[in-house]
Structure 1
Amino acid sequence: MRLLTIPSDANPSFSKLTVSLASTPEEIREVQRLRYKVFIEALSLSALANPDGLDSDDFDRYCDHLIVRDTKTLRVVGTYRVMSPDAARRMGSYYSEQEFDLSRLDHLRSRIAEAGRACIHPDYRSGGVIMLLWAGLAAYMRRERCDYLMGCASVSLADGGHNAAALYHALTPENFAPAEYRVSPITPFPVYEREAGHAPIMPPLLKGYLRSGAWVCGEPAWDPDFHSADFFLLLPLTKLDSRYARHYLKEEKPI
């Protein structure tokens, strides 16, 4: 199902990028191959290496997969995995519930879409692909009638966790969710046991969420498989920064 088609600003030599939902098993394998390259090969996560060269799990069968494709090379260059409330019911949980206790959000379950596994090919990280993925997320949330977007932003622990701790301590009160939306990590990352004296380096995904108006809902969780500290974020669409709302939530014309 095509959502929209927008000219690319990533590189003038590429004619056009498109965003759509994967609709065939082969398209899902294309997504899984890109995730493998970005998450496992690039980060040298040997424990997750496999001969198929695919990053996959049980959630892939239940989720939808946003894909950005370069229509000149036909290569999938960006992806976001999204889970609707109905898919979470069929699966039995959201992906984030492997890392966080979301019981305080139970009353919102029918209105929450979850986004995760965001990745972009290294040759396409100038901004155009992430803009398309965000536009695709907005269209997906309209289709599923969701008022909240949730997901995790991962921070590498390659430096021993000092940057993750520095990021957490640099957050302002406005960055944190009200108490009624707070969640608890199942395996907390010990942010108070790491030195945080240097200025933090914020990953682009976390920066984008915070700029859009998302809340951090508590302390990060430790993900040993991906060797990261994961920050849980919740974005009520009513809180979406007006610049983002104008750009992504405007009504689309038929194409």
Structure 2
Amino acid sequence: MQTLTTSCYIARFAETEDDIRAAQALRHRCFRGGDGLDADAFDERCRHMLIEDRLTQKLVGCCRLLQLESGAQIGDSYAAQFYELSALQTYDAPMIELGRFCIAPDVSDGADILRIAWAMMTKYVEEDDIGMLFGCSSFQGTDAARYLDTFAMLRDRHLAPKRWLPRVKAPMVFRYAQRMRRKPDTKLALRSMPPLLRSYLVMGGWVSDHAVVDHDLNTLHVFTGLEVRAVPAARTRLLRAVSGQAFG
């Protein structure tokens, strides 16, 4: 079993049904609250990444990965339930949908967990020659007013290229790119931005021009894409260094 180990955490892929149930239980705590299992039909088609505390072996983070041969399969993704993604059907390289990323609510060093997750992802991406990562980046709650500065920043700096831009499909959306005239406060925007989304954008990612209101998971989410070739060379070297030194 390949694992990625740092001083505090171990990242690995699920190998057993118990591993997957542990991920589903953590997802339930993070997205729905309380005890239970957050499970759906996509779980059987995905690889599940687990991040565990090295000392206690407690699960502190997880996500699931759905690999597609190309954009021709984009309609089979989880995100396609919420976004009209026909613009991506012509994408001619392998893709990975990263979904249900979450960090245990009682963890204080989420940045380190996110870092090891991206390092693990870097190894996977390079081994399988992946061209694009995508998924839904979630804001907690469904009240868009809490995140107006963040949405204004996304509108001004991070909208998808027109050739890939997702169109509206979900019945309830917040069209922030069309309706907002707000000038963003950068500090407030970054403070209220989900960490996963922030890391996508630092690496050159982009987002849809609207947010989906998802009452099932009590979130707002934006479609997020990242072409691997757009990742800055310095960022790639950093992640390769983490993955290269820590794999066993």
* TM-score normalized with structure 2 length: 0.84
**Contact kept in structure 1, 2:70 and 2:91, CA below 8 Å:** no
Q: Which amino acid aligns with 2:136?
A: C
Return 5+ residue gaps in structure 1 as ranges: 9-16, 43-51
Number of the residue aligned with 2:205: 214
Alignment partner of 1:124: what SS? coil
Pairs within 5 Å for 1:40-119: 40-41=32-33, 53-85=36-68, 93-108=76-91, 110-119=93-102
Superposition deviation, residue 206 in structure 1: 1.7
Pairs within 5 Å for 1:47-196: 53-85=36-68, 93-108=76-91, 110-126=93-109, 127-158=111-142, 160-171=143-154, 173-187=156-170, 188-191=173-176
Residues in 1 aligned to 2:155 and 2:70: alpha-carbon distance in whole angstroms: 34
Q: Which amino acid aligns with 1:84?
A: Q
From 213, 224, 227, the counterpart of 1:236: 227
Alignment partner of 2:106: what SS? helix
**Contact kept in structure 2, 1:165 and 1:195, CA below 8 Å:** no
From 215, 223, 239, the counterpart of 1:248: 239
Q: Which amino acid aligns with 1:145?
A: D
**Contact kept in structure 2, 1:62 and 1:91, CA below 8 Å:** no
Residues in 2 aligned to 1:108 and 1:90: alpha-carbon distance in whole angstroms: 10
* TM-score normalized with structure 1 length: 0.82
Q: Per-residue CA shift, 1:78-102, capped at 9, x if unaligned?
A: 1111111159999971111011111
Residues in 1 aligned to 2:16 and 2:69: alpha-carbon distance in whole angstroms: 20
**Contact kept in structure 2, 1:104 and 1:183, CA below 8 Å:** yes
Residues in 1 aligned to 2:158 and 2:13: alpha-carbon distance in whole angstroms: 31
Number of the residue aligned with 2:25: 33
Superposition deviation, residue 223 in structure 1: 1.4
Return 5+ residue gaps in structure 2 as ranges: none
From 15, 18, 37, the counterpart of 2:10: 18
**Contact kept in structure 1, 2:74 and 2:89, CA below 8 Å:** no
Superposition deviation, residue 233 in structure 1: 1.1
Number of the residue aligned with 1:224: 215
C-alpha change, 1:233 and 1:91, in structure 2 (3 Å) is: closer
Q: Which amino acid aligns with 1:32?
A: Q
Identity of aligned residues (%): 27
**Contact kept in structure 1, 2:10 and 2:54, CA below 8 Å:** yes
Residues in 1 aligned to 2:50 and 2:141: alpha-carbon distance in whole angstroms: 28
Superposition deviation, residue 146 in structure 1: 0.7
C-alpha change, 1:2 and 1:123, in structure 2 (3 Å) is: farther
Query: Relative contact order: is structure 1 or structure 2 higher (C-alpha 8 Å, sep ≥ 6)?
Result: 2
Q: Per-residue CA shift, 1:160-216, capped at 9, x if unaligned?
A: 311344322222544122210101131222436689687442222221211121011
Alignment partner of 2:135: what SS? strand
